[in-house]
């Protein structure tokens, strides 16, 4: 019977891409053979080959731009919270100011769980559009907060949107990328680094000139409007991102997600649409997904069989991530890495003021100019770090695991070194090295993690790792509230956590360099 999808496709004026022997020519997969349901695995390889043949074109490059908004948002908003922390504390005089950070981290955790697990159930498309929209709305409303409780609640609410960005965006971008271009997931982190630069540049005049200083005995709303202006700017940026995503770009549902739900016809249609937008035409047909050989056995009615199997796990995509010993080891270790980093990063930031004060490195004369100048220098150095990460992941014998392990260990080493600073310039130097290396680490981590999860459970896998990161992140402000701030011990613990995470990476069983994700 003729394939209606192929009949509808107009091949005139396009390069036609053959799909004969598609399984034999499919890119090598990240996950070892036998890790997944054989029907799903074979069909994923068919789609991988179809996407690879289409190549990196107009649609993927447009997606690269709008997906970058999610990366930027993931860094922009936690930085925004840290930047407004002092002026909010000066205006509202809360009993425990770290509750603001705690509220943010709780929101990030809820967002990671809700959007991450949810996108494996109701799809990537709606989550992709709504995450930044939620952030923008509550970020703008937060500018009018009348008291500390209000700003803490709004921080939690905007963070629910922020928490879903990376779990959802990394999944959908990876699922449209040809295997030959998966390194772009690492390059995306340049948006993460640029967000820090943008936040610092906007905060410099607004928070530097229009907020109360620590020494002020009286701090009224009219004297402290800078942080409110800053929130309007952050919310405005998020709203522009949402507008561009929702109104100026058409996001398609992931073909492999649809295939995993047994909706093969829709998956094929979207592959054809992506090819059309790239000025090409794929000969992928519905029959390519319905009939193929797996392990020497002819499989027909694959969609129905796979759908019946998946119906049993629609509400629980966790089990497949532990289906084999290798998958279980991989999921457990990468979750541990995210957890260790989730505690180490905010723990260092929470105790950094002590290091600055006791090591004579309080940013020189304590002026606003010196403070923001140094912050900007540190932020700018994150940009080349992300670009270098994109190069390192493609180096033979180093790959994702090598780049991630080395950069994580060196991040911890530079944290240890920062405790030796006795001048402002020395601390600035160590913080520059730390930020440069940590941006390499995050760039690789954000790319490698979704690559080692199968598509049908990728959102869940991303949610598990992000949740571990957020749960441990919640512990940092709690430690800051009740621990002794007049000690460098937590900074040493932070450095040790990064080094331990880097060593754990070596034990991960899958290397994804040069391989296509399933």
- Looking at residue 69, which CATH number applies to its domain? 1.20.1250.20
Distance CA 166, CA 13 (A): 37
Q: Which of 315, 339, 354 is the last residue of a domain?
A: 315
Q: Is residue 321 in some structural domain?
A: yes
Which residue in the block uniquely carries the two structure tokens 């989730």?
342
- Rounded to whole angstroms, what are the CA distances from 381 to 189, 197, 393? 13, 9, 19
On the question of pLDDT at 303 being above 50, the answer is no
Q: Are 320 and 491 in contact (CB under 8 A)?
A: no
Cβ within 8 Å of residue 212, ≥6 positions away: 87, 90, 91, 219, 223, 224
Q: How many CB atoms lie within 10 A of CB 301?
A: 11
Q: Which helix (H) or strand (E) holds 15?
A: strand 15-17
Q: How many domains does the chain have?
A: 2
The number of helix segments (H) and strand segments (E) in the chain equals 22, 4
Do 304 and 367 share a domain, yes or no? no
Question: pLDDT band for position 355 (50/70/90)?
Answer: low
Do 195 and 257 share a domain, yes or no? yes
Do 405 and 494 share a domain, yes or no? yes
Q: Is residue 3 in some structural domain?
A: no
Q: Which of 315, 342, 375 is the last residue of a domain?
A: 315
Do 308 and 322 share a domain, yes or no? no
Cβ within 8 Å of residue 391, ≥6 positions away: none
Q: Is residue 32 in some structural domain?
A: no
17-29: average pLDDT: 51
Q: Which of 315, 332, 352 is the last residue of a domain?
A: 315
Cβ within 8 Å of residue 258, ≥6 positions away: 264, 266, 267, 270
On the question of pLDDT at 318 being above 60, the answer is yes
Which residue in the block uniquely carries the two structure tokens 């192929």?
6
Give me the percent of the chain exceeding a pLDDT of 70: 82
Question: How is residue 444 written in tokens?
Answer: 């690789």
Q: How big is the chain, counted in residues?
A: 518
Do 347 and 214 share a domain, yes or no? no
Question: What is the C-alpha R_g of the chain?
Answer: 24
Distance CA 403, CA 384 (A): 15
Which has the higher per-residue pLDDT, 270 or 25? Answer: 270
Distance CA 226, CA 469 (A): 31
Do 341 and 311 share a domain, yes or no? no
Q: Is residue 4 in some structural domain?
A: no
Phi then psi for 15, rounded to 5 degrees? -75, 130
Do 113 and 194 share a domain, yes or no? yes
Do 243 and 290 share a domain, yes or no? yes
On the question of pLDDT at 257 being above 90, the answer is no
Q: Is residue 271 in some structural domain?
A: yes
On the question of pLDDT at 200 being above 70, the answer is yes
Distance between alpha carbon 421 and the CA centroid of its chain, in Å? Answer: 32
On the question of pLDDT at 307 being above 70, the answer is no
Q: Are 2 and 287 in contact (CB under 8 A)?
A: no
pLDDT score at 295: 44
Do 460 and 505 share a domain, yes or no? yes
pTM of the model: 0.83
Give residue 76's domain range.
9-17+37-315
Q: Are 465 and 266 in contact (CB under 8 A)?
A: no
Q: What is the DSSP letter of 29?
A: B
Question: How is residue 201 written in tokens?
Answer: 């540049």
Distance CA 347, CA 260 (A): 40
Q: Is residue 31 in some structural domain?
A: no
CA angle 257, 466, 44 (to 5 degrees): 20
The string of pLDDT tens digits covering residues 373-420 is 888 998 999 899 998 998 888 888 888 899 999 999 999 999 888 888
Q: Is residue 126 in some structural domain?
A: yes
| DSSP letters spanning 238-294 | HHHHHHHHHHH--PPPPHHHHHHTT-HHHHHHHHHHHHHHTTEEE---HHHHHSEEE
Q: Return the closest-CA partner of residue 163 out of 489, 499, 503, 468.
A: 468
Do 307 and 323 share a domain, yes or no? no
- Identify the three-state secondary structure at position 180: helix
Q: Is residue 454 in some structural domain?
A: yes
Q: What is the DSSP letter of 318?
A: S
492-507: average pLDDT: 93
Cα dihedral across residues 176, 510, 261, 469: positive or negative: negative
Do 323 and 295 share a domain, yes or no? no
Q: How many CB atoms lie within 10 A of CB 218?
A: 7
């Amino acid at each position: 019977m003729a394939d209606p999808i192929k009949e509808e496709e107009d091949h005139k004026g396009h390069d036609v891409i053959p799909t004969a022997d598609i399984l034999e020519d499919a890119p090598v997969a990240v996950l070892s053979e036998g890790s997944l349901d054989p029907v799903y695995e074979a069909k994923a390889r068919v789609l991988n080959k179809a996407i690879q043949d289409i190549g990196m074109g107009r649609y993927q490059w447009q997606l690269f731009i709008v997906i970058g908004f999610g990366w930027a948002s993931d860094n922009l908003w936690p930085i925004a919270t840290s930047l407004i922390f002092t002026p909010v504390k000066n205006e509202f005089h809360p009993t425990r100011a770290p509750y603001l950070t705690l509220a943010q981290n709780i929101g990030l955790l809820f967002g990671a769980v809700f959007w991450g697990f949810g996108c494996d159930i109701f799809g990537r498309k709606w989550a992709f559009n709504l995450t930044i929209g939620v952030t923008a709305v509550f970020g703008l409303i937060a500018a009018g907060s009348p008291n500390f409780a209000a700003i803490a609640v709004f921080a939690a609410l905007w963070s629910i949107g922020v928490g879903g960005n990376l779990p959802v965006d990394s999944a959908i971008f990876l699922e449209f990328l040809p295997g030959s271009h998966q390194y772009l997931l690492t390059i995306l982190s340049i948006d993460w680094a640029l967000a820090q630069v943008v936040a610092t540049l906007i905060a410099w005049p607004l928070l530097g000139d229009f907020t109360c200083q620590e020494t002020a005995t009286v701090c009224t709303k009219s004297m402290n409007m800078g942080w409110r202006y800053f929130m309007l700017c952050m919310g405005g940026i998020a709203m522009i991102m949402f507008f561009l995503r929702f109104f100026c770009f058409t996001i398609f549902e992931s073909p492999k997600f649809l295939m995993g739900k047994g909706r093969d016809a829709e998956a094929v249609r979207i592959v054809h649409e992506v090819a059309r937008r790239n000025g090409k035409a794929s000969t992928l047909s519905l029959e390519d997904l319905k009939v193929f050989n797996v392990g020497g056995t002819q499989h027909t009615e694959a969609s129905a069989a796979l759908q019946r199997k998946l119906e049993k796990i629609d509400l629980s995509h966790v089990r497949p991530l532990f289906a084999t010993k290798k998958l279980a080891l991989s999921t457990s270790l990468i979750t541990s890495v995210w957890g260790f980093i989730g505690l180490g990063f905010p723990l260092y930031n929470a105790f950094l003021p002590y290091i600055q004060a006791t090591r004579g490195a309080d940013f020189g004369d304590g002026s606003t100019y010196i403070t923001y100048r140094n912050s900007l220098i540190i932020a700018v150095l994150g940009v080349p770090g992300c670009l270098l990460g994109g190069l390192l992941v493609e180096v033979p014998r180093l790959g994702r695991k090598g780049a991630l392990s080395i950069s994580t260990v060196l991040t911890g080493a530079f944290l240890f070194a920062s405790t030796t600073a006795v001048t402002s310039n020395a601390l600035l130097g160590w913080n520059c090295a730390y930020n440069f290396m940590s941006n390499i680490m995050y760039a690789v981590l954000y790319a490698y993690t979704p690559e080692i999860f199968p598509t049908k459970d990728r959102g869940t896998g991303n949610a598990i790792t992000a949740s571990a990161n957020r749960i441990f992140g919640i512990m940092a402000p709690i430690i800051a509230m009740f621990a002794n701030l007049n000690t460098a011990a937590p900074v040493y613990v932070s450095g040790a956590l990064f080094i331990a995470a880097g060593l754990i990476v070596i034990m991960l069983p899958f290397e994804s360099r040069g391989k296509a994700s399933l």
